Amino acid sequence: MLNFLKKSEYVLGLNARNLSYLRPSNSRRALRIADNKLLAKRILSKAGLPVLETYGVISSYDDLKNFDWNNLPPTFVLKPNRGLGGEGIVIVYGRREKEPRPWVKANRKMVSIEDLRDHIRNILEGIYSLTGLPDAAFFEERVKLLKLLKPYSFRGIPDIRIIVYNSVPIIAEMRLPTEESGGKANLHLGGIGVGIDMGTGITTCSIQRDRLIEYVPGKRVPLRGIQIPDWQEVLRMAVYAQQATRIGFLGIDIAIDRDKGPVILELNVRPGLAIQIANQSPLKDRLQRIKGLKIKTISKGV
């Protein structure tokens, strides 16, 4: 941490991110895409990029009233369309056979149809919306955990956050769900951020609550030295996602499904900056070196 603090003049802060990179690089159209998960999925899918299946969309109280719950599989994820930071997401891992057949969440708590209805009403009212305006809810396929990553994950799916600028992936981290985060891979909820060497795809330093850690909490399982599978493909997908959406400064969240391989979870036009701590590497210098480069092909960017 001391070496990182010595480089503090090169650390990218929120104001610099917004004024120097987010606003100049991202049009209003780009922001609309990034802030609308369903729209982003359609654009990415049309571009041939792998996304998760959508099981159903509820955008009004009439939709909620008429929704056929029998169409849902035993396992799924419920999300607000314009949610931020993992808030409002419900992850379901299975369903009991015994009536009234409740679903089971990551924390092993039961969730009934009425519980889901209540939660969706909150989503429709905009409780979890980025802007506070009325929102839509959707049910999505749940990623199947890769065996390689099981020792590092608590009842959830790790994802890989890559920040891409000017068609170049500049920094990355693996985000691990923990007991504290409730099985969600969000750092502000208590998840773990693990820095990744961009050249090799091997993990380096790790943080939880902005403090350096070496092992999975409660285990003697080291977090350094994990080889991310399909690393070059993950990088190519991230660059292609930026080009397909024309979002100049972008965080791309990718998971590695047990059966499908890398899939894009969602886009984030305001990626958190703790990724610099996880990598013990400030962003400002990297961004300045890339600014203005002419990247003609994806392979050149990667």
Q: Give pLDDT, residue 4.
A: 56
Between residues 99 and 166, the one the model is more confident about: 166
Mean pLDDT of 175-187: 88
For 278-301, how does the pLDDT look when each residue is reduced to its tens digit (9 = 90+)? 999 999 888 888 876 666 555 555
pTM of the model: 0.90
Domain layout of the chain by residue ranges: 2-51+144-301, 54-140
Residue 5 has pLDDT above 70, yes or no: no
The whole-angstrom separation of Cα 240 and Cα 38 is 18
22 phi, psi to nearest 5 deg: -65, -55
Range of weakest confidence among 20-34, 56-70, 133-147, 161-175: 20-34
Which has more confidence, 180 or 96? 180
Distance CA 115, CA 92 (A): 12
pLDDT at 33 > cutoff 80: yes
Strand order in the sheet with 110-111: 54-58, 137-140, 76-80, 90-95, 103-105, 110-111
Q: Is the pLDDT of residue 3 over 60?
A: no
Sequence-distant (6+) residues with CB within 8 A of 125 are 134, 135
Can you name the CATH fold of 2-51+144-301? Answer: D-amino Acid Aminotransferase; Chain A, domain 1 (3.30.470)
Give per-residue pLDDT as tens, 214-230. 999 989 999 999 999 99
pLDDT, position 2: 45
Q: Between the CA of residue 95 and those of 2, 145, 280, what are the distances in Å?
A: 48, 18, 42
**pLDDT confidence of residue 96:** 81
Tens of pLDDT, residues 226-276: 999 999 999 999 999 999 999 989 999 999 999 999 999 999 998 888 899
